[in-house]
Amino acid sequence: MSQSLSHRCYLQTLPPISHNATFNSRHKPPPPRNPTGDKRSRKFYVACGRGNNRASTTNKDDYHATLKALNSKGRSPKKSLGQNYMLNSDINEQLVGVAGVEEGDVVLEIGPGTGSLTNTLINSGAFVLAVEKDKHMAALVSERFSSTGKLKVLNEDIVKCHVRSHISSLVGSTEDIDSDTRKAKVVANIPFYISTDVIKLLLPMGDIFSEVVLLLQEETALRWVEPSLRTPEYRPINIFVNFYSDPEYKFKVARTNFFPQPNVDAAVVSFKLKQPSEYPQVSSNKSFFSMVNSAFNEKRKMIRKSLQHICTSLEIEEALESIGLLSTSRPEELTLDDFVKLHNSITKE
Ligand SMILES: C[S@@+](CC[C@H](N)C(=O)[O-])C[C@H]1O[C@@H](n2cnc3c(N)ncnc32)[C@H](O)[C@@H]1O
């Protein structure tokens, strides 16, 4: 096919996508990284050979490539699945860099979409287990990397997926990994609507993952990594995150890097997972988190009132005082360490 014909075909594919870009008036079309009228960018696109059957592990996943990949399957981004695709390969490189992905690593990617992050992970030498809920995107990414032998795609909802058994069998079958010292990693640009579910699912898996690196909504990232005591944003999830991991805010990602453009900015957070032996010592994790949730259930109430179903007000007052806190303390005033001490004091009685 001559370049001019390819060029024409490419132009013909644009209108439906441009139309789809307005599927939600709140999602503004992104500023093209290569302006659509720029002939050089089209030539580059044709020269890359996208759209043929070659595994595309080296092509640039920019605005045009993302549109073309979606168009090849007749897809438009679905808001219900949080499909805001990454248009900037440099950010994918940085995400992979934060996780320190190396040759031979096993990486769980949630929601590969068109495969832009998958591409960077595979190019870094990782074997990727990708869990994608959208069957069309699962098929697309599977086809794209079929010749690499470095990708397994599960067309499943991550929240219902048996992550542990899939990862364990992959790590166990990867010869050059010493499973005692080298664990799998999670690197993903996840849909914002499942952030809490993903955190709850993965952070307690320090026995199989060393690190979870996620692209989150910026506001969520800040709330989870830098919570302030005595604010309404301080919630049980903060206790949970710090119980199971050491979180670190890495960098902000402007909304203009996504297609369609979301209404909010994003940020990359690294959660270094604690080994089970490093978790705070409590008699039972289940009863500990049940106590924390109860304490926050009625946030304005003092702990001596909200935990009355566990023991009497007087016993709670004494327990609070025995760990150096006021008997009138409220949940938003307690750190993880305070909650651990309170739990241990109450349950030993
Ligand atoms: C924000 S997009 C990211 C796509 C791609 N990783 C990228 O960076 O361009 C989120 C992806 O997660 C998928 N997804 C949404 N809900 C999911 C779920 N519950 N389980 C697995 N994948 C999901 C979407 O279909 C979409 O491909």
Say if ligand 1 is within 6 A of residue 216 CB.
no
Average pLDDT along the chain: 83
What are the structure tokens assigned to 337, written together? 């360490």
Whether 111 has a binding-site annotation, put simply, is yes
The reported pLDDT for the residue numbered 208 is: 96
21 pLDDT exceeds 90?
no
179-208: pLDDT as tens digits: 456 799 999 999 999 999 999 999 999 999
Residue with token string 């849909």: 191
205-216: pLDDT as tens digits: 999 999 999 999
216-268: pLDDT as tens digits: 999 999 999 988 888 888 999 999 999 999 999 999 999 999 999 999 999 99
Of the two residues 255 and 23, the one the predictor is more confident about is: 255
The reported pLDDT for the residue numbered 133 is: 98
Instruction: Give the whole-angstrom CA distance, residue 328 versus residue 317.
Output: 8
Say if ligand 1 is within 6 A of residue 163 CB.
no
Among protein residues, the one with the nearest Cα to ligand 1's atom 4 is 113
Instruction: Compute the average pLDDT of residues 271-300.
Output: 93
**Which residue, among 185, 189, 131, has the nearest Cα to 157 in the 3D structure?**
131
The reported pLDDT for the residue numbered 16 is: 32
35 pLDDT exceeds 70?
no
User: Among 27, 56, 81, which residue has the most ligand 1 atoms within 8 Å of its CB, making it the best to mutate?
Assistant: 81
Say if ligand 1 is within 6 A of residue 153 CB.
no
Of the two residues 6 and 262, the one the predictor is more confident about is: 262
Of the two residues 189 and 6, the one the predictor is more confident about is: 189
98-128: pLDDT as tens digits: 999 999 999 999 999 999 999 999 999 999 9
Say if ligand 1 is within 6 A of residue 204 CB.
no
What are the residue ranges spanned by the domains of the chain? Answer: 81-278, 285-347
133 C-alpha to ligand 1 centroid (Å): 7
The reported pLDDT for the residue numbered 51 is: 30
Sign of the CA dihedral running 126, 130, 135, 136: negative
What are the structure tokens assigned to 19, written together? 């139309």
pTM of the model: 0.83
The reported pLDDT for the residue numbered 59 is: 63
Contact 311, 346 (CB under 8 A): yes
Q: If you compute the radius of gyration of the chain from its CA atoms, what whole number of angstroms results?
A: 24
The reported pLDDT for the residue numbered 6 is: 31
Whether 86 has a binding-site annotation, put simply, is yes
The reported pLDDT for the residue numbered 93 is: 97
What are the structure tokens assigned to 204, written together? 């307690």
Say if ligand 1 is within 6 A of residue 81 CB.
yes
Of the two residues 3 and 89, the one the predictor is more confident about is: 89
Contact 292, 236 (CB under 8 A): yes
Third-level CATH fold of 285-347: Helicase, Ruva Protein; domain 3 (1.10.8)
Name 122's Cβ contacts closer than 8 Å, sequence gap at least 6: 57, 128, 145, 148, 150, 151
The reported pLDDT for the residue numbered 181 is: 60
Name 82's Cβ contacts closer than 8 Å, sequence gap at least 6: 111, 190, 191, 192, 193, 194
Third-level CATH fold of 81-278: Rossmann fold (3.40.50)
Instruction: Compute the average pLDDT of residues 15-22.
Output: 33
Interaxial angle between packed helices 313-322 and 336-348, expressed in degrees from 0 to 180 and rounded to the nearest 10: 130
Instruction: Compute the average pLDDT of residues 6-14.
Output: 28
The reported pLDDT for the residue numbered 122 is: 98
Instruction: Give the whole-angstrom CA distance, residue 139 versus residue 141.
Output: 6
